[in-house]
Amino acid sequence: MTDGLLSYPPAIANDYVHHPVPVAHSGVPAHSLLPGVHRVASLLKRWLLGTHDGAVEVDHLQGYLDEFAFRFNRRRSKFRGLLFRRLLEQGLHVRPVTYRSFVVNPAAKRQTPHPPASPRRVGPASNV
């Protein structure tokens, strides 16, 4: 079930049954028609801003989304210790993930150089 955006049918092909709920012309607020979708989207935005302090890069987006899905799917687990153990077990059974395979664009980003520091120290203005 989606809000009827035209890009969804080509994206899902024949993998899912698509039930569009057009929101734009319904006169009903989107959060009323699709409350679960808006709740998850809101939680994702809050998590990205809170955990990553707004420093989210497109190259790492899939990793962020994978981590969010992992945490979201286990948010009501009663056995936190078992979750940690299973995560460790999974980590031992997979090959190491390299940076190059983790990001879309592994090329180093160019950073603008900082201006040279002033050779003398400048103190606060005196009121004398």
- Using alpha carbons, select from 91, 81, 47 the residue that is nearest to residue 65: 47
| Cα 106 off chain centre by | 18
Calculate the alpha carbon distances from 95 to 63, 76, 115 in Å. 16, 29, 43
Higher confidence at residue 117 or residue 35? 35
Q: Express each pLDDT in 115-127 by its tens digit.
A: 666 566 555 666 6
Q: Which burial class, exposed, middle or buried, applies to 36 when counting CB atoms under 10 A from its CB (0-12, 13-18, 19+)? A: exposed
DSSP conformational letter for 27: S
- pLDDT reading at 109 higher than 60: yes
> What does pLDDT average to over the chain?
78
- pLDDT reading at 64 higher than 80: yes
| pLDDT (average), residues 72-80 | 82
